[in-house]
Amino acid sequence: MGSLNPFKWQGSNKVYSLPWLKNRLEYSADPERIAEYAKTPFTRSRFVMTMLTQFHLSRHSIVVSEDDHAMWLKRVSRSHMPTDEAVPQMAIALMTRLFPPPDPGEQEQSFHLSDRLIRELYRTMLGNVMQVEVLKPLEDYITHTKFPHGSRPMVLEGVMYSFRLGLPFLRPIRYFFDSLFFKEVLYMKRVSAKLEQMVYDFTIPKPDSWFSTLAALRESGKITKAQFRGEITSMLVSSFSLASALGSALLCLAARPQYQKKIHDDPAFARYFVMEVLRLYPPFRQFGYQQTTTDKDAHHQGGFAHEFMIPVFQLHRNSNIWKNPKKFYPERFLDPDAAKGFKYLPFGMGKRSCPGRNFSMSLIVQALRFVCSDESPVMLVKRDSLPRGKSGRLVSFALDDTITYCGK
């Protein structure tokens, strides 16, 4: 019977401990359990790093680096993030490119948000975060490239990881299956490698920019050429998470136009609106950690499995901790304690949490405020329903992402 019962359950949390699993893997959407875990020494899980590199991330980026490297490089990147004063202009430029004036005679215009948003955010990240001037070949490549958001389903990634199918000598087999079933994965890997090369070849860094600082670190030998290029690719992935979040925010706004005036009038409320969007539609549906100690027994101290996964989507919709979790209700964040206590984690937690969180939050808030303002030349056309999230992927985009707008 034991072998027919594939997963072993322990306590209120799921602990997967199949014999063929590389390590015991615990899933928890319980804030108390997460809080307990947060007191222990942990780092980003290998499983998540594997998934991220299978997405289209370079193997040399900060995201998949060891803690020491990530820590100081994160400080460098934080010190180059756009200031709060710079973000509103950036948001206006972004929204203006996203919603060009409808053609003469056209009442309304519709398009699929995610592809266009990824492209425009990529431009924003290059111009304002990496701070480079983009030369024509790169500009043309970005304009004409499609950016699908495909990755393999998470369950499949998990199985591959457990069976160690990531090993280099198995690459041809993976390639074969990807070319049969997951063409987008291969396509995105190609696009990402090409972009990395083109950003390297066809940009001019502004003085004191993030890019020129990275170049100086490269010159002095503090980072390798591969790591320098890896940071370029991490921009690509963060453009995807930001596109997912901003896309969901615009779709929610179109579905709930009654909030437009409040967003226009009250910046604090605009922030609650974005928080609610990230609660219901966290771009990273799950992420995870592992203990940093090398002592094997210590992995299980406090009953923690070797890898600790947080299904953020479930955590944010857990009815034991959220009132009416499925209801889109930004007002819940008027309560200053609403997001406290490890129940709201769209940007992760602890030392490996997202360094782009403040920038991302203010960019989305400012973008929405502009769309709701009198100065905005466009008006979103009401949608009938809130977006539905695409499940089972590493970075989740809205499924039904057609947005319609008209000129004012």
The reply to whether 31 sits near ligand HEM by the rule CB under 6 A is: no
The reply to whether 356 sits near ligand HEM by the rule CB under 6 A is: yes
Smaller CB separation from ligand HEM, 21 or 288: 288
The reply to whether 242 sits near ligand HEM by the rule CB under 6 A is: yes
Smaller CB separation from ligand HEM, 186 or 339: 339
Smaller CB separation from ligand HEM, 174 or 352: 352
Stretch that binds ligand HEM, among 139-147, 181-189, 199-207, 343-351 (CB under 6 A): 343-351
- As a whole number of angstroms, the distance between CA 297 and CA 291 comes to 11
Angle CA 91–63–211, to nearest 5: 55
Phi, psi of 14 (to 5 degrees): -85, 130
- Judged by DSSP in three states, 109 sits in strand
- As a whole number of angstroms, the distance between CA 314 and CA 393 comes to 14
Instruction: Look at the chain and count its residues.
Output: 408
- As a whole number of angstroms, the distance between CA 236 and CA 158 comes to 23
What string marks each residue from 97 to 136 as x (binds ligand HEM by CB under 6 A) or -? --------------------------------x-------
Phi, psi of 124 (to 5 degrees): -60, -45
Strand order from edge to edge, sheet including 13-16 = 9-10, 13-16, 25-27, 307-311, 286-291, 42-44
Stretch that binds ligand HEM, among 104-112, 138-146, 183-191, 241-249 (CB under 6 A): 241-249
The residue sitting closest to ligand HEM, measured at its beta carbon, is 348
How many residues in the shown chain lie near ligand HEM by CB under 6 A? 25
Whether the CB-CB separation of 397 and 149 falls below 8 Å is answered with yes
Q: Tell me which residues in 170-209 interact with ligand HEM (CB under 6 A).
A: none
Q: Tell me which residues in 360-399 interact with ligand HEM (CB under 6 A).
A: 360
Whether the CB-CB separation of 58 and 333 falls below 8 Å is answered with no
- As a whole number of angstroms, the distance between CA 122 and CA 239 comes to 6
Helix (H) or strand (E) holding 45: none
Q: CB neighbours (10 Å) of residue 397?
A: 25
Smaller CB separation from ligand HEM, 27 or 284: 284
Stretch that binds ligand HEM, among 144-152, 158-166, 322-330, 352-360 (CB under 6 A): 352-360
User: Partners of 15 in the beta sheet?
Assistant: 26
Stretch that binds ligand HEM, among 31-39, 165-173, 214-222, 234-242 (CB under 6 A): 234-242
Smaller CB separation from ligand HEM, 281 or 370: 281
The reply to whether 275 sits near ligand HEM by the rule CB under 6 A is: no
The reply to whether 230 sits near ligand HEM by the rule CB under 6 A is: no
The reply to whether 245 sits near ligand HEM by the rule CB under 6 A is: yes
Helix (H) or strand (E) holding 93: helix 87-98
- As a whole number of angstroms, the distance between CA 373 and CA 408 comes to 11
The reply to whether 263 sits near ligand HEM by the rule CB under 6 A is: no
Stretch that binds ligand HEM, among 111-119, 134-142, 174-182, 239-247 (CB under 6 A): 239-247
Place of tokens 């200031």: 83
The reply to whether 315 sits near ligand HEM by the rule CB under 6 A is: no
Largest CA distance in the chain: 71
The reply to whether 227 sits near ligand HEM by the rule CB under 6 A is: no
- As a whole number of angstroms, the distance between CA 394 and CA 396 comes to 6
The reply to whether 63 sits near ligand HEM by the rule CB under 6 A is: yes
**Of 124, 128, 233, 241, which one interacts with ligand HEM (CB under 6 A)?**
241
Residues that bind ligand HEM (CB under 6 A): 44, 62-63, 70, 74, 129, 234, 238, 241-242, 245, 283-284, 287, 346-349, 352-356, 359-360
